[in-house]
Amino acid sequence: MKVDVFDTTLRDGEQTPGVSLTVEEKVEIAKQLARLNVDVIEAGFPVASPGEFEAVRRIAETVTGPVIAALARAVEGDIRKAGEALSNAERSRIHTFIATSPVHMKYKLRKSPEEVKKLAVKAVELASQLADEVEFSAEDATRSDPDFLVEVYEAVIDAGATVINVPDTVGYTTPEEFYGLIKHLKKNLSLRGVKISVHCHDDLGLAVANSLSAVRAGAEQVEVTVNGIGERAGNAALEEVVVALDTRRDFYKAETGINLSEIARTSRLVAHLTGIEVPPNKAVVGANAFAHESGIHQDGVLKERTTYEIIDPKRLGFSGSRIVLGKHSGRHAFREKLRELGYELSEEELDRAFARFKEIADRKKSLTELDIEALLYELEEPTYRVEMVHVTATKGLSTAAVKVLDGGERVEVSHSFNGPVDALFSAINRVLGIDARLVEYRVSSVGSGRDALGEVLVRVEKDGKVLVGRGLSTDILEASAQAYLNAVTR
């Protein structure tokens, strides 16, 4: 079964508190959604504001491929405004709605069920004159009487609706209940080619599960947003729904037309333009979705990716799996990282390096490639050691004094230069009689509080080679001197 993907990132997704997209940003996202190959783009709610109308109009004029939809309440002014905004679309759809639950009809609409049904029919009849397709939503459907839903949906199908949408507007239902509701509608409605759509919110964290359950029951369209953004707890996440259907085709017996290789790019674009960052542990598109730190997992993935990855990240547009080196990492992953960096160690050297790695990993959340290289250099017995560092600054000129232990001999030199670090490294060059140049200088803290250690990592160019060094001390200048000395004496 083919399941249509109706993307409402630009309408329901933009209702996320704090998100407000410009016309140009909405057009940019719409073009990316077309590359993603969604079936329908809900471009906005034209009656909401002049800017919203202009965004829908621009998208309708410039984006081809997907059907372009516009939202409208079951109100004549809304529907005519939507029709006007969509007038130049390659394929257009007006999406009109009215609430059908007892609580909404009584307190929000203050109308009887019969009045609501008449308004729904009237709205669909008008919309069908102004767009190629008409979708009708019974707002808060999951808290509505199922038999009343059948009555309303039957009436709007007679009036010309081509899609009927079943929204879980407040994220109230459960997968089992939603499955039963979709089955009830399919059994009791004379659909005549009309598609059943579902639109799920995530208030109980069940939006994706409910959407997938509806597909199992026969729903032919799912309404989703990129990264699951939306008001309150958000909407069903596009990437999670489509990747679940793709990964478990054996179970759901359904597929979408989504271009999976565009998922990573689409997620990044939406996160960038909305300012809503993707949580690291977010399924499918989170930074940690394909990252492995546990030694057992790393060993498995390195031997055969599918041992711990049910999704191939490269299919989604990511560069691949990520092995994160940290205190839980194992020997296998550590050895592979060394090989990746170009180092082949003997078993004895690997034992020493891995033991040192574990010591450092206990202090740091994760280790970078620069950390690993510096760690290897630390295993060599140093010829030189910093004994004293003193830096003063007068009238913009810094003077560094260093005392270096050269074997058993102490050498002390002072040197003036622009800035304390420059002066310090120039003084070390003088001590050793070399001409080395700093390429990269990085400072981070190990631990917390006033007694935290300062860790300095440097890359230094010497005799045409780039060398790495590390220094660790409660005194940043001392750590800097030791790092530089470690690098230039390799």
Task: Calculate the CA 190 to chain-centre distance.
Answer: 41
Arithmetic mean of pLDDT, 15-21: 92
The whole-angstrom separation of Cα 256 and Cα 339 is 40
Q: 320: burial class by Cβ within 10 Å (0-12, 13-18, 19+)?
A: exposed
pLDDT, tens digit, for every residue of 108-166?
999 999 999 999 999 999 999 999 999 999 999 999 999 999 999 999 999 999 999 99
* Position 22 confidence tier, pLDDT thresholds 50, 70, 90: very high
- pLDDT at position 410: 53
Type of residue found at 312: D
- pLDDT at position 99: 98
Does the pLDDT of residue 484 top 70, yes or no? yes
| Residue environment code for 460-488, b if the CB has 16+ CB neighbours within 10 A, otherwise e | bbbeeeebbbbbbbeebbbbbbbbbbbbb
* Position 303 confidence tier, pLDDT thresholds 50, 70, 90: confident
Average pLDDT, the chain: 89
Arithmetic mean of pLDDT, 189-213: 98
**Whose CA is closest to 125, among 102, 96, 86?**
96
* Position 63 confidence tier, pLDDT thresholds 50, 70, 90: very high
| Count of Cβ atoms closer than 10 Å to residue 180 Cβ | 15
Bigger pLDDT: 333 vs 418: 333
Give me the domains of the chain, ranges plus CATH numbers.
4-274 (3.20.20.70), 291-378 (1.10.238), 384-488 (3.30.160.270)
pLDDT, tens digit, for every residue of 232-241?
999 999 999 9
**Backbone torsion region of residue 407, taken as left when φ is above 0, otherwise alpha when ψ lies between -120 and 50, otherwise beta:** left
Q: Are strands 384-394 and 92-99 parallel, antiparallel or unpaired?
A: unpaired
- Encoding tokens for residue 245? 């259907």
Give the lowest-confidence range in 146-150, 322-326, 464-468.
322-326
Task: Calculate the CA 10 to chain-centre distance.
Answer: 17
* Position 476 confidence tier, pLDDT thresholds 50, 70, 90: confident
Does the pLDDT of residue 95 top 70, yes or no? yes
Q: Which of 118-132, 349-363, 410-424 has the highest mean pLDDT?
A: 118-132
Arithmetic mean of pLDDT, 434-446: 85
Q: What is the DSSP string of 205-222?
A: S-HHHHHHHHHHHT--EE
Arithmetic mean of pLDDT, 173-196: 97
Bigger pLDDT: 146 vs 471: 146
- pLDDT at position 219: 98
Does the pLDDT of residue 449 top 60, yes or no? no
- pLDDT at position 253: 96
pLDDT, tens digit, for every residue of 223-275?
999 999 999 999 999 999 999 999 999 999 999 999 999 999 999 999 999 99
CA dihedral 143, 146, 149, 154 (to 10 degrees): 160
Does the pLDDT of residue 167 top 80, yes or no? yes
- pLDDT at position 226: 98
- pLDDT at position 172: 98
Residue 271, φ and ψ in degrees, nearest 5: -60, -45
